Structure 1
Amino acid sequence: MTDAEDKRPEWGKKLSKFVPIPQRVIMAIMGFFSIINNYTLRSCISVTITRLVLKRTYSNETAASGEVCPKPELTEEEEKLAGGEYDWSQEMQGYILGAFYIGYILGHLPAGFLSEKYGAKWVLVCGMSTATILTIFTPLCIKLLGPVALIILRAIMGFGAGFSYPSFSALLAHWVPTHERSLLGAFIMGGGQMGTVLSNSVSGTILRYTTWPWVFYTFGFFAALWILFFILLCYSDPESHPYLGDKEKEYLMQHMGRLGRDHNLPAFPWLTVFKSKEMWVLICAQIGHDWGFYVMSTCFPKFLNDVLQLQILKTGIYSSIPFLLFWFASLLFGTISDFIIKRDVKRATCVRKWMTFIAATPSGLFMVLAVYVGCNTLLIILFFTISMALMGAFYAGIKLTPNDMTPNYAATVMAIVNGLGGIAGVLAPYSVGWLTKKTLLPEWQIVFWLALAILTIPTIPFCIWGTAEVQEWNEQSKKE
């Protein structure tokens, strides 16, 4: 019996014999639901805002020109649900949708440092609790305080939600061996797509049959429920887990060489890291991907509402379909990546590069194709769905590269990379607001051409200089 086993309480030793599911799998499942909640809290406003603002109207000449699609026949009840009471300009809507990501960027670094120093569990709980409470208070803020206060609230929400990815990067590094990381990592982080699916479809349904505040109350309730179960079931690392089974403990020791965190890590080697071209190309590729993703997740419902003029329930359902396929594709790409890496771990770098490329240029091309098929709703949804399915390769690409490059500092590197990627989350909605002031199809075509360019150009350096090899500065403490 090892020291780590001896530290377990008696109740933990007994309970470990009756838990059939490996704890790293439980951690992955809870991680999946964590990211789902993260995305439902951030994204539910994307559909709801179409119900909040005044209904958009077009002249007969504009409709006849093909710059917007013909308005489908709506029932009297659906007509009443086509708009709201708030006179927010397209630019103001862009500020509201993008404000979340200002805080999101700022939340990453504190989360990375705290996760490495104190463990990821309570860091994640604090961040998600902040986002959950503010989501529940969002209707009150909109009704009493107005759009400026909503922007501030969304930014603080983003700060709390920004804790999620660095925290789970630390959990992955401490719980999951390299040869399982692509699939479980894609599964956890693919919760973002499932969260977008649920956010869009459930929001559309709620808005169709009840009042808009219930969108925020519903998702806030489920996030609070997740927090409770996460506190009870998950721990920062295998060493601190009171009922980790002996078989899993031996497995993790065999494949990872340790059970606990390194509590004696030196300060993060900032200068060395930022002198590394591998780090810079990773950051650039992340920003490029996030631009394309946030254009879709944040603004796609507006495209369906403004250009196709779909009623609210269809907007919610149709905007969720591409993200559902994104999630399934991310699992498929993760499985393929794990299969290749397990047979030859030296091919990890090649796998990460190919997956990153697939998630960029081909994905962007189908976005552009989708806005050149006229008003054919079926083809538009099909092309956007193919685009997001290809983007599913992203999680087996650059998203897991920080864990490959530095197991010891994975949380901080993820915080830097994903945090800077949040710049796209701020600028993408703003740019859409600026470019689509008249909400016409030619304006949206510019939006998606820009998305293709920003997806592709930063990916090229990563495909040349990116790496999945452990970096020298990861073991800086041993060298010193």
Structure 2
Amino acid sequence: MAGRNVVYESVPKDEKREELQKPPERPKGLGIRHLQTVILFICLTIAYTIRSQLSVLMVAMVRVQDPHCAFPDGTRNISEGCVDPNANISRWNIYRTYDWHKSTQEMITFSFFVGYTSMMIPMGLLAQKYGGKLPIMFALAVNGVISICTPWIALLGGWIAMSVSRLALGMTQAAMYPSIHTLLAKWAPLRERGRLSTYIYTGSQAGTIIAFQLSGLFAGSPILGWPVSFWLFGSLSLLSCALLGWLGVASPHQHPSITTEELAYIMEDGAVDIVPKKRKTPWKHILTSKPVWGLIVSHAGSAASYLLILTEIPLYMNHILHVDLKRLWLVQEYFCSRSAL
């Protein structure tokens, strides 16, 4: 009896039977969370096209300098009898080339990443306070307007205005990843978070590939020219901003047509707080964590290599390998016509 009493006394008096509760089943078919994933993928893809296009278009915007016709600072020496390619066109014609030295080109390209790195943490705080939707819309709107105006910015303000515009692009695009993280924390269930995150973040590679191909096509086209690339991707940025404002929602609870089953599936395991809680950031533990510093070092090396290839390969192909953009466009057109036959 004593042993039996011990056994019965060890049983909890207040049994909640949590182990018997089944988690919500995944709703069949595509849901609102998948729609948000597609929208964020489109927004990130367009953002990366605007980020990457200048690396290719810089080759078309800058004329090949003759060492005998240029001063050490990169300006043209007309007294030597050198011909200015822009002499026979109107001063308001945006279809022109510029005498930008290599160091000037790198200053313009580098300006984007100065703004990007300086605003990453502030944009993360804004996304945490106001949600992820509004910062992304603001970034896409600013990027679209600046991209469309870039040919006139270069014409009227020169390389300094171009550097300032690229700085503004970087400062606003710093909102993309923190805002996407914020939206994923609200929309992605724990069991699908890795998969949905992968779908969205693939937009960075897709945007880079699209920008390199289309920018090279426009820059080498004798009809369209390099300004068309800025206009196209700028217009797409404004359209994606409107798409996010129309169909994007900051939280599942704010969506008017989400089903009860999908909402319960997203909310399972405490993945999302119904009422956002203010939490303290454990800075001491973060800054003293060896895995955190290992991730920082590895990501810094990966990012440095990626950005070096992103910004320098078009110039390397043009100046070192002597790959002409116009000739490359004609080769692509030839193979496309042959494949159609």
Q: What TM-score comes out, normalization by structure 1 length? A: 0.54
Maintained 8 Å contact 2:147/2:234: yes
Out of 281, 287, 311, the residue aligned to residue 268 of structure 1 is 281
Maintained 8 Å contact 1:43/1:199: yes
CA distance in 2, matches of 1:301, 1:51: 10
Deviations 1:417-441 (A, max 9, x none): xxxxxxxxxxxxxxxxxxxxxxxxx
CA distance in 2, matches of 1:262, 1:313: 57
Return closer, same or farther for 1:26/1:120 CA change in 2, 3 Å cut-off.
same
Q: Does 1:284 align with 2:297?
A: yes
Q: Bigger CA drift: 207-216 or 218-227?
A: 207-216
Deviations 1:144-178 (A, max 9, x none): 11101211110011101110011001112222134
In structure 1, what residue type is equivalent to 2:247? L
Q: Which residue of 1 aligns with 2:45?
A: 36
Deviations 1:279-330 (A, max 9, x none): 2222111111101111122222122212222221566899xxxxxxxxxxxx
Q: Which residue of 2 aligns with 1:312?
A: 325
Which structure is larger by alpha-carbon Rg, 1 or 2? Answer: 2
Return closer, same or farther for 1:152/1:183 CA change in 2, 3 Å cut-off.
same
CA distance in 1, matches of 2:212, 2:225: 15
> Cα RMSD (Å) of the superposition?
2.6
Deviations 1:343-362 (A, max 9, x none): xxxxxxxxxxxxxxxxxxxx
CA distance in 2, matches of 1:314, 1:107: 40
Deviations 1:225-278 (A, max 9, x none): 111111111112212222212221122133x42444652223433333222222
Out of 210, 231, 241, the residue aligned to residue 245 of structure 2 is 231
Q: Secondary structure at the match of 2:305?
A: helix
In structure 1, what residue type is equivalent to 2:320? V
CA distance in 2, matches of 1:96, 1:49: 10
Q: Secondary structure at the match of 2:99?
A: coil
CA distance in 2, matches of 1:247, 1:174: 16
Out of 248, 253, 264, the residue aligned to residue 267 of structure 2 is 253
Return closer, same or farther for 1:301/1:183 CA change in 2, 3 Å cut-off.
farther
Deviations 1:203-243 (A, max 9, x none): 12222131322211111001101111111111122122222
Maintained 8 Å contact 1:135/1:217: yes
Maintained 8 Å contact 1:30/1:230: yes
Cα displacement (A) at 1:36: 0.8
Out of 27, 30, 43, the residue aligned to residue 21 of structure 1 is 30
Q: Which residue of 2 aligns with 1:210?
A: 224
Mark the runs of 5 or more structure 1 residues left unpaired by the alignment.
Answer: 1-18, 59-82, 319-480
Q: Does 1:87 align with 2:99?
A: yes
Q: Secondary structure at the match of 1:24?
A: helix
In structure 2, what residue type is equivalent to 1:270? W
Return closer, same or farther for 1:261/1:170 CA change in 2, 3 Å cut-off.
farther
Maintained 8 Å contact 1:102/1:158: yes
Q: Which residue of 2 aligns with 1:165?
A: 177
Q: Secondary structure at the match of 1:137?
A: helix
Q: Secondary structure at the match of 1:145?
A: helix
CA distance in 2, matches of 1:243, 1:257: 22
Q: Which residue of 1 aligns with 2:213?
A: 201
CA distance in 1, matches of 2:274, 2:64: 54
In structure 1, what residue type is equivalent to 2:147? T
Q: Does 1:296 align with 2:288?
A: no
Out of 221, 229, 233, the residue aligned to residue 235 of structure 2 is 221
Q: Does 1:132 align with 2:144?
A: yes
In structure 2, what residue type is equivalent to 1:299? E
Q: Does 1:49 align with 2:58?
A: yes
Aligned length: 277
